[in-house]
Structure 1
Amino acid sequence: MKIIDFRSDTITKPTEEMRKAMYLAEVGDDVYEEDPTVKKLEEIGANLVGKEDALFVPSGTMGNQLALLAHTERGQEIILEEKSHIFMFEVGGLAFISGLQSKTIKGHKGIMCASDIERAIRVNNIHFPQTGLICLENTHNMAGGVITPIELMRKVYEIGLNYKIPIHLDGARVFNAAVGLGVDVKEITKYSDSVMFCLSKGLCAPVGSLLAGDKKFIEKARKYRKMLGGGMRQAGIIAAAGIVALENMIDRLEEDHYNNRLLAEKLININGIQIDMDTVQTNILMIDIVNKNYNADTVISLLKENGIYVSKISDYKIRFVTHMYISKEDILYTAKIMKDILE
């Protein structure tokens, strides 16, 4: 039976071009900053997002946590959306690693209001923690791949400048946002002081993310990377795949977006499914099961029997993520099976 895996775009495997590049990669010791392939990847990544420098890290979570460490001091507070990845899915690292307190804001479909962010900034008071960082997420995972509008990012960046508070962008899927908006990614990332973006999701690289910012910030993050065990040696073997990802895999994200919308348009016509079509913007689809005879667990189990893997978000919510290894034919087959199950 063929497996159609919608659980995440992290399940993508490296392309043949990536595998060849990894085999042929020139390597050195990256802790000594002597791996030429890593250095090339970091240069390409920094230039793509319009930053002075970049740092290759094993994962997006590490990249985000390094940004928190490099931007803040222990005992400070950071502002972030209540369902953001940094708050929900990084094992409490902001508190455990950086000693930070969270000030969460309820967003509308994952998007915080600029005025709410400004109101959340702490005034100078001996009883309060100091606001040390504002974090944004683009696209927003738990909102269903929603794109944070550029105008909102501009407003938040200006707030940061006014209060002298840095802005970090969790841009795990920022290239999906750029493709979705039809803009150069720099039009998004210019409104942040630092940005983390993943190579191992829709871009298909097997390992790694990049953290980008100014040189002083990256120098600090590099030292913290070593402290957290992220200093890799002949990392050019995996960095080579990241170069292919950035050079050849960004534009094709549009195909994932097309397939995601096609899936949404097919599923919304099935009795027992509700979809907020306003959130269908990139490659993530959230559906609500409203047939009283089913919940997420039962639907997921029945889909799995038919070779379709999806993720449970809550008792009645399921997530689909499209990627390079999901075809139009897979979308049509999945819609048929969902219809058979629920109707």
Structure 2
Amino acid sequence: MPDVLINLYSDTVTKPSAAMREAIARAEVGDDMSGEDPTVNRLEALMAKTLGHEAAVFACSGTQSNQMGVKTHCLPGDELLIEAGGHIACFEAGGPAVLSGVTCRTIPGTLGMLDVADLEGKVRADNQHLCVTRLLCLENTTNVGGGRAWPLDQLARVCGWAHDNGLKTHLDGARLFNACVAKGCSAAEIGQHFDTISICFSKGLGCPMGSVLVGSTDDIRKARRARKLFGGALRQAGIVAAAAVYAMENNVERLAIDHDNAKTLAREIAKIDGLSIQVEDVETNLVFFEVDPKLGNAGQLAAALLERGVKIGASGAQRLRACTHLDVSRDGVMQAAEILRQTVQAGFRQYKGSATGPYSRA
């Protein structure tokens, strides 16, 4: 594989900084399974307070914490409602069905978001022939929806509808702090509308691994049992929790830099003949754009770029995704844009690449 000079494939490629590694090395640890790891306890208390909830539990990954949330709220045979491109439904290996016996009812939205009009009539009647609609899962920021941050009034309206209809609410907040920075709000302003919230530390926050599920004391007690069942109970986890504490104290506000870099990249892409992008839709650190089929497909363009040292992902036949993060500077973004321009001008049909990447709609 060619050397990757500029990796815009995902913010999951971020590596711990020297200061984060130092925090990891200094971490005070204990047996988290027994509640005796002081660094994990500190992180869980910090996240519960930050989100305005009672408790939190550390998890290995965002998929794990999302599935803990599903199992906490649902019984086998239940149904959850989710936007059609939602990560929980599309990109977690069928987790709700496999781990909890739960069906995902997907609902087309706009830019990955739903409104009350989309949801009305979707709660099933109390009838022995039907599954029970138990949970509404939302995603903020949206992923395949384009990295959009929910308007706060829409979020409140949709979650209010869910609670009025007897549903629990879970937020896939893998990039929640990107949403907070974009909207200029606190995490608690978003968290107040949800029964449980999943937060990922290994994306824009720059940690090597880890996630957390936040909620009420009772819900988190249930989630700990789910974590054990899923094989995620941990021992001296303070080593990785220390990275998350460092990230919360140092890497949240700087997400604005990633957003600015994404907007810069979008503006440069808009100048390239054969590529199309809605610059105004780039709100956080995800940049989706389309390649003219007359030139080739997304997989071919991604393969050609990789040959030139720039890694991005194909997200469909003609759609590509680039993701800015703390390991790519503004200069790196500008260099990537120039390589993209040169690649499109030179032609790329001769390259072979898959158009069904991890976030493809195919």
TM-score range relative to shorter protein: over 0.9
1:287 paired residue number: 289
The letter for the 1-side match of 2:103 is Q
Quick check: 1:48 aligned with 2:50?
Answer: yes
Which one of the candidate residues 135, 142, 145 is aligned to 2:144? 142
After superposition, the C-alpha distances for 1:154-210 in whole angstroms (9 at most, x for unaligned) are: 112211221221100000001000000111121111111110010110000111001
Say how many residue pairs are matched: 343
1:60 paired residue number: 62
Quick check: 1:157 aligned with 2:159?
Answer: yes
Give the 5 Å matches for 1:288-307: 288-307=290-309
After superposition, the C-alpha distances for 1:48-99 in whole angstroms (9 at most, x for unaligned) are: 1111101100000000000000011110110001110001100001111110
| 3-state SS of 2:12 partner | helix
**Structure 1 alignment gaps of length 5 or more:** none
Q: Distance in 1 between matches of 2:120 and 2:196?
A: 19
Structure 1 contact 271–291 (Cα < 8 Å) conserved: no
Q: Distance in 2 between matches of 1:190 and 1:278?
A: 28
The letter for the 1-side match of 2:270 is I
Structure 1 contact 172–196 (Cα < 8 Å) conserved: yes
Which one of the candidate residues 118, 121, 124 is aligned to 2:120? 118
CA offset at residue 329 of structure 1?
A: 0.8
1:310 paired residue number: 312
CA offset at residue 293 of structure 1?
A: 2.3
Give the 5 Å matches for 1:142-221: 142-221=144-223
2:132 paired residue number: 130
CA offset at residue 115 of structure 1?
A: 2.2
2:357 paired residue number: none
After superposition, the C-alpha distances for 1:251-282 in whole angstroms (9 at most, x for unaligned) are: 00000000000000010111111112342000
TM-score, scaled relative to structure 1: 0.98
TM-score, scaled relative to structure 2: 0.93
1:263 paired residue number: 265
After superposition, the C-alpha distances for 1:268-312 in whole angstroms (9 at most, x for unaligned) are: 111111112342000001110015122112211221122100111
| 3-state SS of 1:288 partner | strand
**Structure 2 alignment gaps of length 5 or more:** 346-362
The letter for the 2-side match of 1:313 is S
Q: Which 4+ residue blocks in structure 1 deviate beyond 2 angstroms?
A: 276-279
Give the 5 Å matches for 1:37-116: 37-116=39-118
Structure 2 contact 56–213 (Cα < 8 Å) conserved: yes
| 3-state SS of 1:282 partner | coil
Structure 2 contact 109–118 (Cα < 8 Å) conserved: no
Q: Distance in 1 between matches of 2:280 and 2:63?
A: 28
The letter for the 1-side match of 2:137 is C
CA offset at residue 2 of structure 1?
A: 6.2
| 3-state SS of 1:159 partner | helix
Give the 5 Å matches for 1:228-267: 228-267=230-269
The letter for the 1-side match of 2:315 is I
The letter for the 2-side match of 1:66 is M
CA offset at residue 316 of structure 1?
A: 1.1
The letter for the 2-side match of 1:281 is E
How much is the aligned-residue C-alpha RMSD, in angstroms? Answer: 1.1
Structure 2 contact 293–318 (Cα < 8 Å) conserved: no
Q: Distance in 2 between matches of 1:108 and 1:157?
A: 17
The letter for the 2-side match of 1:50 is G
1:273 paired residue number: 275
Q: Distance in 2 between matches of 1:45 and 1:16?
A: 23
Distance 1:297 1:161, change over 3 A: closer
Percent identity of paired positions between Structure 1 and Structure 2: 39
2:228 paired residue number: 226
The letter for the 2-side match of 1:293 is L
